[in-house]
Amino acid sequence: MLDRRAGGTGAQRGRRRRDAAAEEYREILAGTTSSSRIQDHGLADEAVAREGLAAIAVATGIPLVATNDCHFHARDDVEAHRVLIGIGHNKTLAELARDYAYNDEFYVKSPSEMARLFAATPDAVTRTAEIADRCHAGFPESGFILPDYAVPPGPIRGLPRGAGPARLEARLSDGRERRHKAAEYVARLELELR
């Protein structure tokens, strides 16, 4: 039903509010390289968002950028990711099934996959590549990237330095059944204390 006193249908008023908000953001971010990101992981909400953001782009000139939300490296890693999330949330996979927000599309996609996925908006893919070209990050090709924490001198948590082996020995001698042999725990402690 058309409500002329309110300035049109609800959808029309919604579009005007959407465009006004986008214009306000464009003015606030004027002179920056702001953009609206679109994604496609096969979710219905994303299709609605892409359509709305495309309309905002036309109305305001805010460019679109094709992005990909990545939670695992390869498509086949989705099950491992579910297990990891289940562990983090202390839930079984059956319990997690109703809460798990990802499908197998949340993997790292190649440039050609992104181009196919966003064939309807090739400028968005081009802008993504331009942004990537401005990013300069390098990582070693092998080894681990872990922080090096200096252990402060003196006791740690009230325990004298070197108390680890004696505490482990006391713990291992309490008579409880363990998953591993005592020698494995000692070897691991020695590795961790290096």
64 and 119: one domain? yes
**Residue ranges making up the domain that contains 45:** 1-68+110-137
* pLDDT score for 37: 92
* pLDDT score for 13: 81
Q: Residue 175 CA to chain centroid, in angstroms? A: 44
36 forms bridges with which residues in the sheet?
64
Check: CB of residue 2 under 8 Å from CB of residue 10: no
Angle subtended by helix axes 10-28 and 44-60, to nearest 10: 60
Annotate 53-105 with three-state secondary structure: HHHHHHHHCCCEEECCCCCECCHHHHHHHHHHHHHHHCCCHHHHCCCCCCCCC
pLDDT digits over 153-164, tens only?
Answer: 777 677 777 788
3 and 96: one domain? no
149 and 194: one domain? yes
8 and 48: one domain? yes
Distance CA(152)–CA(155), nearest Å, equals 8
pLDDT digits over 15-36, tens only?
Answer: 788 778 877 877 787 767 778 8
6 and 24: one domain? yes
Residues 169-187 have a mean pLDDT of 89
121 and 25: one domain? yes
126 and 174: one domain? no
Is the pLDDT score of 133 beyond 70? yes
pLDDT digits over 92-123, tens only?
Answer: 988 888 877 889 999 999 999 999 999 999 99
- The mean pLDDT value of the chain amounts to 85
81 and 159: one domain? no
pLDDT digits over 51-69, tens only?
Answer: 988 988 887 788 999 999 9
Q: How many residues does the chain have?
A: 194
Mark which of 121, 137, 153 sits at the end of a domain: 137
21 and 100: one domain? no
**How many domains in the chain?**
3
98 and 44: one domain? no
Nearest residue to 49 (alpha-carbon basis) of 76, 22, 79: 22
* pLDDT score for 46: 93
* pLDDT score for 120: 93
Q: Which two tokens stand for residue 95?
A: 């319990």
17 and 79: one domain? no
* pLDDT score for 1: 44
pTM above 0.75, yes or no: no
Distance CA(169)–CA(187), nearest Å, equals 12
Residue 6 DSSP symbol: G
103 and 117: one domain? no
